[in-house]
Amino acid sequence: MIRPRLFQSVKSALGVIKRFASNISEQKVNVGGIDINYVKSGDGPNGILLMPGAIGSAWTDFKPQIEKLPSLLPDYTIIAWDPPGYGKSIPPRRQFGLDFFQKDAEWAKDFMQALGYSSFSILGWSDGGITSMIMAAKHRRLVDNMIIWGAGAYINEKEIKLIEGMRDVSTWSQRMREPLEKLYGPERFAEIWSEWIDAMLEFFKQRNGNFCREDIEKIVVPTLILHGVKDPMIAEEHIPYIRKRILGCRYYSFPEGKHNIHLKYSDEFNNVVANFLLQKY
C-alpha cells in the first residue's frame, strides 16, 4: 500500500516530468535561405544552444539534456540544433572546407538571433566545442556562458591515426551505427563520415592541425570545461592547453568518463551544468 504522502510526492514528480515533456517541440526556421531544424524544450527567458559533435544532430547527441535540463533550469529554454548539412537541416549538402567551424559559428549566431535572442549560453560537445570556442572569441557580447567537453583547439598526429582507424563504419558496433544510419541512411552515413575524416586530414596537412589556436586566448566569457578523463578521442594535452589559455575557466572531471560523458553520466552532467549556470559551482 502506498502511503498518501509518498503518493503525493510521486504524483508531483510525475507532473513535473509530464509538464516538461509536453513542452518539447521540433521545428524549422529559415536562416539565410536554409531551413534549420531544431528542438526546443523549456520556456524560460534565457537561451541555451546545444552544439552537436561531428555529423551529429539534436536528438542523436542531446536527448538527456533536451528532456531533463528544463526541470533544473526553469529560467532557461533549451535549444538543440542540427547545423546546416547535418541531420534534418538538409539541404544543403554538408561542405567541409578549412573554414567549416567558422561557418558553423556564424550560422549558429544568425540562427539564435533569428529566434530572437540577443545573447545566450552555449554547450558544445566535440566539434560543437570547437565551434563554441570560435563563437565565444569572436562574439563576446553574444555569449553569456560557455560549457565545452571533448574538444581541442587543434588535432595532432596521434588523433589523426585514431580517426583513420575509424573510417570503415562497418567495424563500428550496431549501437554506435544505428542512430546515425537512421538519421542519414546507411550509404550517406558512411559517406559523410568519410568526408569529415578527409577534412581532419586537410587541417593536419595544410594548417598543422590548427582549428582555433588563435581564438581561445580571446575568450573572456565565463567558461566551464568538462572532461572525461578516459576520453580516447582527444589527447590528454588538450585540457591543460585550453585551461591555461582561457583565463578564469572552471573545470570538472569525470574520472571514468570517455567521450560521451553527457550521455553516460547524464544526471551528474546536467546537475554540474545547471549549478554552473546558476552560479553555484
The amino acid present at 24, given as its one-letter code, is I
The answer to whether 183 and 60 are in contact (CB under 8 A) is yes
Known catalytic membership, residue 227: no
Q: How far apart are CA 224 and CA 249, in angstroms?
A: 6
Annotated catalytic residue within 231, 238, 262, 266:
231
Q: Which three cell numbers mark 173?
A: 558496433
Annotated catalytic residue within 57, 215, 227, 259:
259
Q: How far apart are CA 81 and CA 216, in angstroms?
A: 23
Annotated catalytic residue within 41, 89, 126, 132:
126
Indicate left, alpha or beta for 122 from its phi (over 0: left) and psi (-120 to 50: alpha). beta
Query: How deeply is 168 buried, as exposed, middle or buried, from its count of CB atoms within 10 A (0-12, 13-18, 19+)?
Result: exposed
> Dihedral angle at the C-alpha atoms of 130, 132, 138, 143, nearest 10 degrees?
-170
End-to-end CA distance of the chain: 40
Q: Which three cell numbers mark 129?
A: 566545442
The amino acid present at 154, given as its one-letter code, is Y
Q: Alpha carbon 71 to chain centroid distance?
A: 19
Indicate left, alpha or beta for 248 from its phi (over 0: left) and psi (-120 to 50: alpha). left
Q: Which three cell numbers mark 204?
A: 593536419
Q: Is 155 helix (H, G, I), strand (E, B) or coil?
A: coil
Q: How far apart are CA 126 and CA 153, in angstroms?
A: 10
Query: How deeply is 158 buried, as exposed, middle or buried, from its count of CB atoms within 10 A (0-12, 13-18, 19+)?
Result: exposed
Active site members: 126, 231, 259
